[in-house]
Amino acid sequence: MLKGFHYPLTPKGKSTLNPTPPWHYSSDFLNIEFWSDPAAVAAVLPPGLDPDPKAEGHGNALFYDWQFTGANDEYLDPARYQYREFFLLVDAFFEGRPVSYCPYIFVDNDAAIARGWTQGYPKRLGQVFQTRYYAATGKAGPALAPGSKFAGSITASGRRLAEALLTLKEPVTDLSILKQRPIVNLLHTPRLAADRQDKPAVHEFVENIPHDVKIEQAWIGEGLLTLPVVAGEEISDLAPIRCGKGIRASMAYIVDDLKTLRDLTK
């Protein structure tokens, strides 16, 4: 039997893009709160997800510097598994329940693309960067201190799609502020067969259920996000009307399951 979770499936299972779950993650991240035109948010929601009537176009932009591992010390092969990520989450309702939906997401690693597509994250490749924090601070390495600035950017297909800036104010003392809505994605695998190109093999609402979430070194401050207009892309339809708070923190969690909420192919 061939082995592997994602492509390729091979005799020993060493070449596969990803080992079988559980998948472990650690990261530093920036999280910028923003409000788009509520009509633009409504437009990116797939049928079956409803606008959150009180959200007024609320969303979050996130930049992650991830490290990944499975059971085989993948974190010791950072050239293959370390990656960076940018994504947007917008507030929505699923069957009357507040959730987040991810319309756009970019990573710089193929194993991360494969894991994302398996979770309903519509990942494309991009070059993602965020200002880093180092224990040895200085003019090049901002301290975790009031007034320190951290920036993020994402470029895909040669075009800058988003830029963010966070100015720290204070450590987060009320950890409830870091709580996120559950993320509900559209899991989608299209069919190439000529008579089934409008009948995807997989098309369902899924809920991500990560666990063992840890957050450390969380600071809150003022966030700024821009989503410039570029040819061939439509992410700028969600360009912020105003921005809100920003968070910078480290986090870790485990992914080993996914919950199907509704199969849309039936």
Q: Check if the beta carbon of residue 63 is closer than 8 Å to that of residue 266.
A: no
Q: Hey, which residues between 204 and 233 contact its own copies (CB under 8 A)?
A: 212, 214-217, 230, 232-233
**Cβ-based nearer residue to its own copies, 55 or 186:** 186
Q: Quick one: which of 37, 50, 56, 129 contacts its own copies (CB under 8 A)? A: 129
Tokens of 120: 């309903």
**Cβ-based nearer residue to its own copies, 134 or 241:** 134
Q: Quick one: which of 97, 211, 259, 262 contacts its own copies (CB under 8 A)? A: 259
**Cβ-based nearer residue to its own copies, 89 or 202:** 202
C-beta of 37: minimal distance to its own copies in Å? 12
CA 189 from chain centre, in angstroms, equals 19
Cα distance between residue 249 and residue 175, in whole Å: 11
Q: Hey, which residues between 162 and 191 contact its own copies (CB under 8 A)?
A: 165, 186, 188-191
The DSSP line for 56-125 is TTEEEEEEEEEEEE-SS-GGG-HHHH-EEEEEEEEEEEETTEEEEE---EEES-HHHHHHHHHHT--EEE
CA 106 from chain centre, in angstroms, equals 8
C-beta of 195: minimal distance to its own copies in Å? 9
C-beta of 167: minimal distance to its own copies in Å? 11
Cα distance between residue 203 and residue 217, in whole Å: 38
**Cβ-based nearer residue to its own copies, 181 or 226:** 226
Cα distance between residue 40 and residue 201, in whole Å: 28
C-beta of 95: minimal distance to its own copies in Å? 19
Tokens of 118: 């398996």
Q: Hey, which residues between 27 and 46 contact its own copies (CB under 8 A)?
A: 27-28, 43-44, 46
136 binds its own copies (CB under 8 A): yes
**Cβ-based nearer residue to its own copies, 217 or 241:** 217
Helix extents (H) in 94-210:
110-119
Tokens of 132: 């880093």
Q: What is the largest CA-CA distance in the chain?
A: 61
C-beta of 201: minimal distance to its own copies in Å? 5
Q: Hey, which residues between 59 and 118 contact its own copies (CB under 8 A)?
A: 65-69, 73-80, 82, 103-105, 109-110, 113, 117-118
